[in-house]
């Protein structure tokens, strides 16, 4: 009797293993089952931070509402001789074409922030295409430069959006340091938040029309430079080829 029990259990284990092998064979053919079994994820992610040994960070400004502080921001950036990236929404470009030209002529990088500032994860693939293509064309019409960076409004994205970016040679960009300047924080509070969170390869998010953005920019740059960081545009920080992005959004050079 014990022999029969052992044999029965062995058969059950063998059959279970066969079932797993069959399931995995189907999984690798179709993909989805393997993800369930092993916890794989096919979710694509933008760049939140760059893996680098250099003490280098990038500062960026989203522009969707208003432009009255943008000239002063650029003046501070030029005073400290640093780079920066401005992500522009299409309707902002329509309203402030001369400011778009000024940003470009002052040597700052311009990326797209969509055309109408929708939640990109909640719109159709067709509308994603329109949001990207129309906004890119508006910027190029003024600057005559290729647009290589995109930041999704609200930081919202999905695979369709990431794939649409890839097909256009756009690198989707998030951030790992949120200044929260849009909440009306004081320049001191913004600076404390930023400086306490930066690390090599960080991408800092600010907004061109936040209440205290000019003073915040000055204070943040003073502190970062004092601590030995070089501050650049995102385009100067990220890898543009031969890279991978891990599940945490950290971009690595392959």
- For 25-68, what is each residue's pLDDT tens digit? 333 333 322 233 334 458 899 999 999 999 999 999 999 999 99
In the predicted model, what is the mean pLDDT of the chain? Answer: 89
* 179 Cα distance to chain centroid: 15
The pLDDT value given to residue 42 = 82
Where do the domains of the chain lie? 2-38, 49-253
Q: Which architecture characterizes domain 49-253 according to CATH?
A: Alpha-Beta Barrel (3.20)
With pLDDT > 90 as the criterion, what percentage of the chain qualifies? 83
pLDDT digit string, tens, across residues 190-219: 999 999 999 999 999 999 999 999 999 999
pLDDT band at 9; cut points 50, 70, 90: low
Q: Burial, 68: exposed, middle or buried (Cβ in 10 Å; 0-12, 13-18, 19+)?
A: exposed
Query: For residue range 137-149, what is the model confidence (pLDDT) as tens digits?
Result: 999 999 999 999 9
Residue 221 clears pLDDT 80, i.e. is over it: yes
Share above pLDDT 70 across residues of the chain, in percent, rounded to a whole number: 84
pLDDT above 80 (res 14): no
pLDDT at residue number 24: 38
Name the DSSP class of 32.
H
pLDDT tens, 148-177?
999 999 999 999 999 999 999 999 999 999
Confirm if 164 and 134 have CB atoms less than 8 A apart: no
Question: Bridge-partner residues for 252, per DSSP?
Answer: 244
Chain-centre distance for alpha carbon 228: 24
Q: What is the predicted pLDDT for the residue at 41? A: 55
Query: Between 3 and 57, where is the model more confident?
Result: 57
Beta bridge partners of 86: 61, 110
């Amino acid at each position: 009797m014990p022999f029969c029990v052992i044999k029965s259990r062995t058969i059950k284990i063998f059959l279970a293993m066969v079932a797993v092998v069959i399931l995995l064979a189907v999984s690798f053919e179709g993909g989805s089952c393997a993800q369930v079994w092993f916890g794989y994820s096919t979710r694509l992610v933008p760049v939140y931070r760059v893996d680098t040994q250099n003490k280098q960070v990038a500062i960026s400004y989203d522009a969707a509402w208003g432009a009255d502080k943008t000239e002063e921001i650029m003046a501070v950036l030029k005073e400290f001789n640093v780079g920066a990236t401005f992500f522009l929404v299409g309707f902002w470009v329509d309203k402030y074409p001369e400011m778009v030209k000024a940003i470009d002529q002052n040597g700052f990088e311009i990326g797209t922030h969509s055309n109408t500032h929708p939640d990109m994860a909640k719109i159709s693939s067709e509308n994603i295409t329109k949001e990207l293509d129309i906004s890119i064309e508006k910027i190029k019409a003024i600057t005559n430069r290729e647009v290589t960076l995109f930041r999704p409004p609200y930081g919202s994205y999905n695979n369709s959006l990431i794939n649409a970016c890839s097909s256009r040679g756009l690198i989707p960009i998030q951030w790992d340091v949120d200044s929260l300047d849009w909440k009306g924080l004081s320049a001191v509070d913004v600076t404390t938040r930023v400086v306490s969170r930066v690390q090599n390869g960080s991408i800092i998010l600010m907004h061109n029309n936040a209440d205290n953005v000019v003073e915040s920019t000055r204070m943040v740059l003073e502190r970062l430079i004092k601590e030995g960081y070089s501050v650049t545009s995102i385009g100067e920080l990220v890898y543009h080829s031969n890279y991978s992005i891990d599940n945490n959004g950290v971009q690595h050079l392959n």
